[in-house]
Amino acid sequence: MARRKKIYEGKAKILYEGPEPGTIVQYFKDDATAFNAQKKDVIEGKGVLNNRLSEYFMTGLAQIGVPTHFIKRINMREQLCRSCEIIPLEIIVRNYAAGSMSTRLGIEEGTQLPRPIVEYCYKDDALGDPLVTEEYIAAFGWASQQDMDDILSLALRVNDFLSGVMFAVGIKLVDFKIEVGRVYEGDFQRLIVADEISPDSCRLWDMETGQKLDKDVFRRDLGNLADAYTEVARRLGVLPKNASPITKPTLIN
């Protein structure tokens, strides 16, 4: 059997060439990193949960007409996706102050923002993904004005969708990060949601207790990360409703 070609290995995923041109396979690892990989661990079951949760969110987005790279889940750790040119930005949407925004502006974590605030970071691990303005993005040609209009619209649609889905299961969507990619269709190009949407890239707080159900559990040493992600999956119906948090998840197909 021929070995498939690895395109890229990131901190939480490996990308392989897909079975057909224009496709890739995303493999979800169990590795967890924080603070630009200064803190690292292997969390058994995390990759399986994120594969399934990202499938759940991307499928839901497609159902409401938000284009994504997701094609289908292949197995417990892999999904088939459309290949795209990743725009070198991390697009963050915040509904409540937390994390770097709270640190930067001295706003108490959990403070509701007057409206969703979208911010952009330049995707460069060596630089620690620095916050940039639209002026930088235009001047350095990372994205055009049309791209930025489309990115803002995608980000806000994802925010509305995810906020609603989470609200329905008693979880507050504090903030999240997405990545966007460019695909070409004949003479046209368009932008689609790419990468992953999972508790690795969101802040999710239980609405009643404020309990953190996202990667902050790992960043801040608040308990077992796989248990937190299992709880999110269970509430969304990705795991059986009556499942208790488990570290080796058995998933519904």
Cite the beta strand spans of 158-215 per DSSP E. Answer: 171-185, 188-194, 202-206
Of these partners, ligand ASP, ligand TMP, none, which one is at the site of residue 147 (CB under 5 to 8 Å by kind)?
none
Instruction: Enter the DSSP assignment of 212.
Output: B
Q: Between β-strands 31-34 and 39-42, what pairing exists: parallel, antiparallel or unpaired?
A: antiparallel
**Residue whose Cβ sits closest to ligand TMP:** 99
- Number of continuous H segments (helices) and E segments (strands) in the chain: 6, 14
Buried b (16+ CB within 10 A) or exposed e, 115-137: ebeebbbbbeeeeebeebeeeeb
Sign of CA dihedral 48, 49, 54, 60: positive
Which among 38-46, 169-177, 186-194, 235-243 is the span making contact with ligand TMP, rule CB under 6 A? 169-177
HSE, CB side, 13 Å, CA atoms: give it for residue 110. 7
Question: Interface residues for ligand TMP in 16-45 (CB under 6 A)?
Answer: none
Of these partners, ligand TMP, ligand ASP, none, which one is at the site of residue 96 (CB under 5 to 8 Å by kind)?
none
Is 54 a binding residue for ligand TMP by CB under 6 A? The answer is: no
The least CB distance from residue 179 to ligand TMP, in Å, is 9
Residue written as token pair 């994504």? 68
The least CB distance from residue 30 to ligand ASP, in Å, is 14
**Structural Rg of the chain based on CA atoms:** 18
Nearer to ligand ASP, 41 or 85 (CB): 41
Of these partners, ligand ASP, ligand TMP, none, which one is at the site of residue 29 (CB under 5 to 8 Å by kind)?
none
Binding residues with ligand TMP: total (CB under 6 A) = 12
Which among 62-70, 71-79, 107-115, 200-208 is the span making contact with ligand TMP, rule CB under 6 A? 200-208
Nearer to ligand TMP, 75 or 133 (CB): 133
Residues that bind ligand TMP (CB under 6 A): 92, 98-101, 129, 175-177, 201-203
